[in-house]
Amino acid sequence: MSPSERIQRTTDEWQDALTPEQYQVARCGGTERAFTGAYWNNKDTGMYHCICCGAALFSSETKFDSGTGWPSFWDGISAEAISTKSDRSHGMVRTEINCARCNAHLGHVFGDGPAPTGQRYCVNSASLDFKKGS
């Protein structure tokens, strides 16, 4: 299957493939508590992939310590890898980020990140699968 092919599964298929936390975050738009995810403080070199479909999303080369308690990146692996949409939940207006391949909820992007993009992709560890050295 090519990386650009859309992945669609039933609710039951997603629930069977993911842990309850991964399902709640990636498929239901949930959020893990700050400073609790597996990757918020990960400093290893590698690639962060979508927990649902395996698509490459972020490189450790763009990861930075935002102090927020979630993995933060100043850019995605490519413009095609991540889709965005307006999120008006919880009384806020934010930009939600999703895996473009399977529509998994990743987190949100904010305009307060470092150079060169000025972006902060704030991502839930539960939505990611880190592959060291890749």
Contact 90, 101 (CB under 8 A): no
Query: 86 pairs with which residues across the strands?
Result: 95
Beta strand pairing status for 128-132 and 63-64?
unpaired
Question: In which order are the strands placed within the sheet that holds 56-59?
Answer: 56-59, 46-50, 128-132
Q: Is 102 left (phi over 0), alpha (psi -120 to 50) or beta?
A: alpha
Give catalytic status of residue 122 as yes or no.
Answer: yes
Q: Among 58, 66, 51, which residue's Cα sits nearest to residue 21?
A: 51
Among the listed residues 50, 99, 102, 122, the single catalytic one is: 122
Tokens 């949100």, residue? 108
Residues annotated as catalytic are 122
